[in-house]
Amino acid sequence: MAGNRVVRARAKVNLSLRVLGVRADGYHELRTVFQSIALHDTLTFRSARGPLRLDCSDPACPVDGANLVWRAAACVWAAGGRTGEPRDLAIRIEKRIPMQAGLGGGSSDAAAALRVLASMWQVDGARLPDMAASLGADVPYFLEGGTVLGLERGDLLFPLLDIPASWVTLVMPGFGISTKDAFGWWDERRDVGRALSGPPGGPDRVRPAFSNDLEQPVVDHHPEIAQIVKMLQRAGASHAAISGSGSTVFGLFDRKADAERAARAVGRGGRTALVSRTVDRAEYRRR
Ligand code: C5P
């Protein structure tokens, strides 16, 4: 490898996330709109003799086969016809995207690793979407970036017109949420709803165009989320919701000063807040 390769792995928010039902494979059928934001992890790839080495600035982040970057490397290694475990490579992750936050950090890191390693190990880029989908439902989106509609598991992708540039206030409560748990809470709620009101089709179906169907099940378990959404709305956000399965709540603002004021107002009492901005497809591709 000629020198180090350094790439950004950007985060996403879900502008909207509708859960349409449960699939035969246990996943949920989604209609979601992904949006890239500037917040990013940084991955550095360098040659180093011996077995693959992965390390991360955040000690809470796994650095073995439990990390999607490790699994991405194993995928590309095998796709290139190599045998055994990946080797002669060290990958360092500078983590800035909070984990268990609904911002897609682990998936974005994995997609960045797929791209870099496919070029490094001469694997046809046309094979990347399938490899990405095998790693996780959100990973294929991070090969695209910008404003994208995701159907099926969220991995059948249709690029949309980029939304107008916006400032994004991200508020992280002092806890994370596992995606699996959040979908499980949606299942429980749906079952209770059925028992109370019969088959779907009632007034419950009328909802605003931009909404996140995981938000109420998450709020049932973490009421603080609803308070944060309200605080961002009161601070003037044109849209405020959880991202993905949470725990991050985001608000969209036209003006940076308003986004910063909201971050100061909401990011206290055990919460952290930061201000980012949307990134369109062209900027995402420049990486
Ligand atoms: O694909 P990924 O490993 O990121 O998904 C994590 C978990 O989230 C899955 O195991 C599943 O429980 C849930 N999930 C789902 N439907 C989706 C995406 C994720 O049920 N469309």
Residue type, 21: G
| E-only strand ranges, 134-271 | 147-151, 156-159, 167-172, 239-242, 249-253
Nearest-CA residue for ligand 1 atom 11 is: 180
Measured distance CA(225)–CA(195) in Å, rounded: 26
Q: Which atom of ligand 1 is nearest to the CA of 30?
A: 21
Confidence of residue 208 (pLDDT cuts 50, 70, 90): low
In this predicted structure, the answer to whether residue 197 has a pLDDT above a threshold of 50 is no
pTM for this entry: 0.94
For residues 179 and 30, the answer to whether their CB atoms sit within 8 Å is no
For residues 140 and 44, the answer to whether their CB atoms sit within 8 Å is no
Dump pLDDT digits (tens) for 7-56.
Answer: 999 999 999 999 999 999 999 999 999 999 999 999 999 999 999 999 99
Amino acid 206: pLDDT: 54
- Cβ neighbourhood burial of 26 (10 Å; 0-12, 13-18, 19+): exposed
Dump pLDDT digits (tens) for 127-164.
Answer: 999 999 999 999 999 999 999 999 999 999 999 999 99
Peptide linkage before 247 cis (omega within 30 of 0): yes
Dump pLDDT digits (tens) for 226-263.
Answer: 999 999 999 999 999 999 999 999 999 999 999 999 99
Percent pLDDT > 70 in the chain is: 94
Q: Of the residues 183, 185, 243, which should be mutated to test ligand 1's pocket, given the most ligand atoms within 8 Å of the CB?
A: 183
Query: Distance between alpha carbon 61 and the CA centroid of its chain, in Å?
Result: 16
Residue 256 Cα to ligand 1 midpoint, Å, equals 33
